[in-house]
Amino acid sequence: MSPRQQLRADARRNADRIVAAAGALIAERGADASLEEIARRAGVGSATLHRHFPARQALLEAVFKDRVEALCAKAGDLLAAADPGEALLAWLRAVGAHAVANRGLGASLMRGGGDPALGGTCHDLITGAGEKLLVRARAAGAVRPGITIVQLLKLVSAISLATEHDPDGPAEAERLLGIAIDGVRPR
């Protein structure tokens, strides 16, 4: 059970609202979003934010972990999709949206000196979730042989990085991912 799940119901709601507000502000302004603005958007006082997240790093880690868990849950849901190739593509689009929404979050986490295992744990969760979708897509003949989940994740990450500061970044990332996916499909 996570520390947030062990809280009283009202305290858990506050923590969840803080994480949601932080996630929205990070997507808008980047990982350096103001803690005061996060508290204001969450509808809590600064003291409440700091009681739940004594350091910026702890809040950033909570946002990142929540996003990774949602991404992995989406992969799990897509395992039941009728078209394994389209399921993989839908998940890669979600990974791209995840990367675009993080706007410097990963780099900020690495600089912050927080939980050193977080990056590896999240990477393992994402690659494991994606691997299951890739295996299904490959078995259905929807993906060329020899393509790995790590290659696909690097591709999505590179596209997200390249479009992070574009005025229409998410849409441009979607267009570029579509072009790249055409190269993943069997010839």
Instruction: Outline which parts of the chain fall under CATH 1.10.10.
Output: 1-54
Instruction: Outline which parts of the chain fall under CATH 1.10.357.10.
Output: 57-184
Helix or strand run (H / E) with residue 166: none
For residue 56, which of 119, 121, 117, 109 has the smallest C-alpha distance? 109
Q: What confidence score (pLDDT) does residue 108 get? A: 65
Q: What confidence score (pLDDT) does residue 51 get? A: 93
Q: What confidence score (pLDDT) does residue 165 get? A: 78
Vertex 116, ends 72 and 103: CA angle to 5°? 60
Question: In a 3-state reduction of DSSP, which class is residue 110?
Answer: helix
Can you say whether residue 144 is alpha, beta or left, with left for phi > 0 and alpha for psi between -120 and 50 degrees?
beta
Q: What confidence score (pLDDT) does residue 7 get? A: 64
Q: Which CATH number fits domain 1-54: 1.10.3470, 1.10.10, 3.30.300, 2.40.50?
A: 1.10.10
| Cα dist from 96 to 37, 145, 158, 160, 171, whole Å | 26, 22, 9, 6, 10
The count of other CB atoms within 10 Å of the CB of residue 18 is: 26
CATH class of 57-184: mainly alpha
> Which is more confidently placed, 71 or 168?
71
Q: Phi and psi for 151 in degrees, rounded to 5?
A: -65, -45
By mean pLDDT, which of 30-34, 71-75, 180-184 is the weakest? 180-184
Cβ-contact 101, 27 below 8 angstroms: yes
Cβ-contact 68, 125 below 8 angstroms: yes
> Which is more confidently placed, 181 or 44?
44
| Cα dist from 50 to 34, 56, 85, whole Å | 13, 9, 44
